[in-house]
Chain A
Amino acid sequence: MAQADAADIAPEMQTERNGRLTTADGTPLKAALRRAERRRKFAAFLLVTPLLAFILAFFVFPIAQMMWRSVDNPQVVRALPQTLEALEDWDGETLPSEEVFAALHADFMADVGRPRAEQVMGPLAVRLNYELSAARSAITRTSRQVADFQPPYRDEFLDAHRLWDNIELWRVIEREGRPLTSAYYVAALDREFDSDGNIVLRDENRRIYVQLFIRTILMSAAITFLTFALGFPIAYYLSILPTRYANLLMIAVLLPFWTSLLVRTSAWIVLLQQQGVINSALVAMGIIGDDGRFSMIYNMTGTIVAMTHILLPFMVLPLYSVMRTIPPSYLRAAKSLGARPSTAFRRVYFPQTLPGIGAGGVLVFIISIGYYITPALVGGQSGRMISNEIARHMQQSLNWGLAAALGTMLLVGVLVLYWLFNRLVGTDSLKFG
């Protein structure tokens, strides 16, 4: 289009007095060309707009919203504005004064007057309970009785629920009385606030996530290595076959790709369970005793086996596409120059497959780090991954803030790994197929 415009303009070019080239209507040529170029870019931009809008609406926006949720903390501020104000002079050591309790009463009464859908004590109760057990009933029970409270309010509150007597509750209210919080990240790192407000490690019996992150990374690394060890020979074999047979075999590789994930996972349950095909065959052949059946599923082994199978095509495809482009003559040349087959493979062939290995490795690792259906079905207790905890908080405990914090950490972790990979290997050399 720009070329066409330029061609139209060209015959009518005129030279103005100051020597600059202009078009027929007198605009400088440079500007006219720039406008034509801008129009072309705009047209190109219009073409990608649907995709861009899609990515913004369904990818960038939800992720941003999810990340925002991990620090968003409106509940206390919204529900207890007067209490927070009264708490400003509180010493943090003794039970707050009657004045604070009066403010608390006022906040509760304000909520009683609101229409149900706008009430804020419910969300407050849920929020506080994440930080302190039984805070939920302290809020809900008080809200039911508060209309009958008579001054002095302090005794009325203490009668309504024992937790109002607990300094911990007041510390939580003061600490979380800000619109943004770090509490979800603190919890996601297995830490908590002590009585002085310092961040300390949790009790050993409540630490979950750090350990699970480490396990997830180790398991993903193991799965990546296994797909590589299994996928490399397959891809090599495919690449040296005539195209006809290679395509046929490729279908065999892709077939599991086209089957439902649940079907494939259930098939592994049938094969691997203690009364399953493999164990029963081994018992029938007398290799193991009936009480010596292997536990191959509902543990880490189950997760690794099933996920390796499921993710294998993601390794084979990039490897295959790279290997197809390596001319067989290179290997022949190496051999004719005196290299033994193993040396020729190691020094000549293998280095050329590295872009494929890198691409397959990054793909498999990143996919497996966020996997959750397979570990949930066959992982038992030792084969669970961090994404199972995220799903649990999204669906069961409904602590979306914590789920968002864990999700954000996972996302940042993956980005850091990708950045590291880029620095060490370089994404330019990746070949995804």
Chain B
Amino acid sequence: MVSKLKLLGIGTAASVIALGAAQAQDPVSLTIVSWGGAYTASQNRAYHEPYMAENPHVTIINDDGSANALAGLRAQSQANNVTWDLVDMLPSDAQLACDEGIIMEIDHDEMLAAGPDGTPASEDFLPGSLGECFIPQIVYSTVLTYRPGAFDADNQPDSIEALFDVENFPGQRALQDRPGTNLEWALYADGVDPDDIYDVLATPEGVDRAFAKLDTIKDHIIFWTEGAQAPQLLADGEVVFATGYNGRMFDAIEVEGMDAAIIWDGQVVEWDGWVIPAGGRNIDAVMEYVYWATDTQRLADQAKYISYGPARASSAELVGEHADLGIDMGPHMPTNPDNYFAPIVLDNDFWADYGDELRERFANWMLQ
């Protein structure tokens, strides 16, 4: 009898301790790598801060390392010291990292929340956006932006062709110092249908054609490297056209009040999203976070802070007004029908195959 009671006592004590441990979870600190600037700020407000408020034992540390994410992942994996818990990266790099086995494979329906009406995640995310190891958050696009003040009121540019028309639209142009987007636009402006661009670009004649078109504006180009440079060059009045990411341009125009306008013609559309490094220290905590941060409401929330479109179909109707400015975000989304009339969908397979060669050709062209 006594021993039974004793046992019972011990059992109760043990279960109380176990319960206590489950409630006051061990503190976890998650290092989340993203792009910095306005983009990380939007993730902070839409995901990180609410999550930390709900889960006081989690601390999220931002690292602005996404620009060199693949290099970083490789280095950490080789050194066997994975310090990143979650990384925001482009699908092309994610595919490479996935093929190399340095990030985790994702079982979409298992690891991601279903839509509010019960649609499984694999069907709720926009077609073609989910990758083997890649969980998309947003659709973003690279757009052409111009300074309205630089041209007469009755002669405003409205197409990619204007970028290549130095006669009617004189002035310097800021382009990114890599072939992606630039070659697509050169062909598009040269009359190639958006759907055929990559077929043409896969032929040597097509590449020559694109570079010939770029040659026509070569003396009017300033190249930019970092995302923040493009709006800066526009704001300084150094250029009349600049290419840039639509979210940064939105930020510069609507939030900072820069005098510039976006041309949605020929916008180059791409995904951006999360990958989970393999061998990280907090895999379970990260999975919980990812499950929560990629649900329908959270993805819609991010659009309150930056003009990137949510990657879930079910999030679209929840997109509302900008949290600080109070303006309706719908018209600023790349996926809005008014903006999505002539999109070029970035072909990651193409760039994975031809990128090495075209980057060399482009570097050579910049040198001449």
Whether B367 lies near A381 (C-beta < 8 A) is: yes
| CB nearest to B229 among chain A residues | A377
* Smallest beta-carbon distance A192→chain B, Å: 11
Per the bound structure, the CA–CA distance linking A205 and B359 in Å amounts to 11
Please tell me which one of the listed residues A135, A137, A381 contacts residue B366 in the complex, with CB atoms under 8 A apart. Answer: A381
Whether B101 lies near A273 (C-beta < 8 A) is: no
* Smallest beta-carbon distance B225→chain A, Å: 6
Most buried by B among A205, A212, A376: A205
Contacts of B154 in A (CB 8 A): none
Whether A397 lies near B367 (C-beta < 8 A) is: no
Residue interface bits A359-397, CB-to-B below 8 A is 1, else 0: 000000000000000001000110010000100101111
Most buried by A among B70, B238, B279, B365: B238
Whether B356 lies near A208 (C-beta < 8 A) is: no
Whether A206 lies near B96 (C-beta < 8 A) is: no
* Smallest beta-carbon distance A422→chain B, Å: 33
Per the bound structure, the CA–CA distance linking A211 and B222 in Å amounts to 21
Q: A208-B360, A398-B70 are in contact. Are A133 and B353 (CB under 8 A)?
A: yes
Q: How many residues of B contact A (CB 8 A)?
A: 41
Decide if the interface of chain B is mainly helix, strand, loop or mixed. helix
Q: A122-B96, A122-B99, A394-B71 are in contact. Are A130 and B364 (CB under 8 A)?
A: no
**At the interface, yes or no: A81 with Cβ under 8 Å from chain B?**
no
Contacts of B70 in A (CB 8 A): 398
* Smallest beta-carbon distance A317→chain B, Å: 32
Whether B222 lies near A298 (C-beta < 8 A) is: yes
* Smallest beta-carbon distance A279→chain B, Å: 11
Whether A275 lies near B237 (C-beta < 8 A) is: yes
Residue interface bits B59-70, CB-to-A below 8 A is 1, else 0: 000000001101
Per the bound structure, the CA–CA distance linking A207 and B238 in Å amounts to 30
Whether B102 lies near A117 (C-beta < 8 A) is: yes
* Smallest beta-carbon distance B106→chain A, Å: 12
Whether A205 lies near B365 (C-beta < 8 A) is: yes
| CB nearest to A138 among chain B residues | B353
Whether B68 lies near A211 (C-beta < 8 A) is: no
**At the interface, yes or no: B74 with Cβ under 8 Å from chain A?**
yes
A-B Cβ contacts below 8 A, count? 93
Per the bound structure, the CA–CA distance linking A398 and B67 in Å amounts to 12
Residue interface bits B250-281, CB-to-A below 8 A is 1, else 0: 00000000000000000000000000001100
Q: A140-B99, A206-B364, A275-B236 are in contact. Are A395 and B68 (CB under 8 A)?
A: yes
* Smallest beta-carbon distance A394→chain B, Å: 7
Whether B238 lies near A208 (C-beta < 8 A) is: no
* Smallest beta-carbon distance B37→chain A, Å: 16
Contacts of A121 in B (CB 8 A): 99
Residue interface bits A250-292, CB-to-B below 8 A is 1, else 0: 0000000000000000000000011100000000000000000
Whether B364 lies near A207 (C-beta < 8 A) is: yes
Query: Among residues 332 to 368 in chain B, which have CB atoms less than 8 Å away from a CB atom of chain A?
Result: 349, 352-357, 359-361, 363-367
Please tell me which one of the listed residues A115, A212, A380, A399 contacts residue B356 in the complex, with CB atoms under 8 A apart. Answer: A399
Whether B71 lies near A133 (C-beta < 8 A) is: no
Residue positions of B touching A, CB distance < 8 A: 67-68, 70-71, 74, 95-96, 98-102, 105, 172, 177-178, 211, 221-223, 225, 236-238, 278-279, 349, 352-357, 359-361, 363-367
| Additional pairs, 7, CB under 8 Å, beyond known A115-B101, A140-B95, A381-B223 | A118-B101, A122-B99, A137-B353, A275-B238, A381-B221, A395-B68, A396-B178
Residue positions of A touching B, CB distance < 8 A: 115-119, 121-123, 125-126, 129-130, 133-137, 140, 205-208, 211-212, 273-275, 298, 376, 380-381, 384, 389, 392, 394-399
Q: List 17 A-B contacts (CB under 8 A).
A: A115-B101, A116-B278, A119-B100, A122-B96, A122-B98, A129-B352, A133-B356, A135-B353, A205-B211, A208-B367, A212-B367, A273-B238, A384-B367, A392-B363, A394-B71, A396-B178, A398-B96
